[in-house]
Amino acid sequence: MTASSDTKKVFRIGMLGFGTVGAGTAQIVLHSRPSLKEKTGIDIQIRRIAVRDMKKHRAVSIDPALFTSDGQAVVDDPEIDIVVEVIGGIEPARTLILRALKNGKAVVTANKALLATHGKELFETALAHGGSIGFEASVCGGIPVIGALRDGLVANRIESIHGILNGTTNYILTRMVEDKVSYAQCLYEAQSKGYAEADPSTDVKGIDAAHKLTLLSNLAFHSIFDFSEVHAEGIDGLALDDVRYASDLGYAVKLLAVAKRRNPGADPEDFPGGLELRVHPALVPFSHPLANVRDVNNAVLIRGDATGEVMLYGRGAGMMPTGSAIVADIMDAARGSARQTFTKLQFFQNPREDMPVIPTDKIRSRYYVRFNVDDRPGVMGKVATVLGGHGVSIASVIQKEPHETGFVPIVMLTHLSVEDRFQAARAEIESLPFVRKPSAFYRVED
């Protein structure tokens, strides 16, 4: 930065990108500038904005002279103190952020994909060159979950995180659960309302939630995890029948992001302990607070050893909520607190020896499973025998009326089991002559 945060009163920001989030950020800065100055004594000014298309119509009225097509000129400008990156994606965002950090500037970003895949490189560069990275907006938009983990819960040993981190999928699942509408129809509605992209795969396959879970886990468990270590499944294969059956059993289906410490088990075949790190559709009891998170809202349920469960809830995306989080990070950088956090709390720098990611086949869960079987005597007993042979016990079972195509759906909930045992039992049952493939299964988080 060009001057100490303790003495400098005017901070100039350079923006990389000016899409929906960038426009929201600029609007908040322009409208809130007088009140921010009154509250903090700091004057935030927009100095330059890098955009791809100089001729594009802008949703926010702003001086055209501020725009440039040269992102490198923004990060190299000696008058700019804070660089705000809202381009998205990996490149050119990564290259420009690295250059800004090497120039000693503070960086604020909403780019969860970049941080989840290149976070170690970026954070180490920030530390080496006297910069900082603010990323509150990268997870859950306007919900201050990053600040809660970084500051409010710093005295806690975090035991688990369960989150609904993607608004698009939560909207789709809300419609499927409440209105019994098919996945395809709900996706079409989400796209029509602007909740889902034309290519929704990043959302519906769990990739977006996995990026966010990576960042939350880095903070919560004080280590560097990579996006590739997160087991991710999406909702794109979810059948409406399973949503209905789950409801009959007292459960809602949610796309959950789960990071859970696990102590070494007594079973010698069990994994010796570490962190379960996974994103997938899951059954959540209707009585659980996450089951009642509706539409495009997000929520994060954090369990600390001192606080117990803490839940943060609100709008997880959008122009103004995300812009609000970005401006909060801008103010942290201007006050100098962002740099202090980086240098003193040593987040992301701890070794991983005591926190291996548990392989998916060694996670422990209860399971919902549906088998479609021929309508003949003795089927239920044979299915139960196979499950029992693999050490999987049944908690409850319902047998539905025969389907119009002739098969009978059998729906079961199991007790807690290690995944590889459950999957071995499921594969053996699918091989039985009276079972029609494929079966369906979902994990239960209750």
pLDDT in tens, 224-281: 888 999 999 999 999 999 999 999 999 999 999 999 998 776 555 666 778 999 999 9
The pLDDT assigned to 252 comes to: 95
| Listed residue (102, 342, 93, 92) closest to 84, CA to CA | 93
Query: To which CATH superfamily is domain 363-444 assigned?
Result: ACT domain (3.30.70.260)
pLDDT at 7 > cutoff 80: no
| Listed residue (119, 89, 338) closest to 217, CA to CA | 119
Task: Please state, in angstroms and rounded to a whole number, the distance separating the CA atoms of residues 19 and 136.
Answer: 18
Tell me the pTM: 0.91
The catalytic residue among 105, 112, 205, 212 is: 212
Catalytic residue status for 212: yes
Contact status, residue 278 vs residue 442, Cβ threshold 8 Å:
no
Domain ranges of the chain: 10-142+322-344, 152-315, 363-444
In 193-268, which residue ranges form alpha helices assigned H by DSSP?
201-204, 207-220, 240-248
Structure confidence by residue, pLDDT tens digits, 350-389: 656 678 899 999 999 999 999 999 988 889 899 999 999 9
Q: What is the mean predicted confidence (pLDDT) over 17-24? A: 91
Q: How confident is the model at residue 345 (pLDDT cuts 50, 70, 90)?
A: low
Structure confidence by residue, pLDDT tens digits, 107-120: 999 999 999 999 88
pLDDT at 394 > cutoff 60: yes
pLDDT at 1 > cutoff 50: no
Top CATH class, 152-315: alpha beta
Q: What is the mean predicted confidence (pLDDT) over 152-166? A: 94
pLDDT at 327 > cutoff 70: yes
Query: To which CATH superfamily is domain 10-142+322-344 assigned?
Result: NAD(P)-binding Rossmann-like Domain (3.40.50.720)
| Token representation of residue 215 | 């960042």
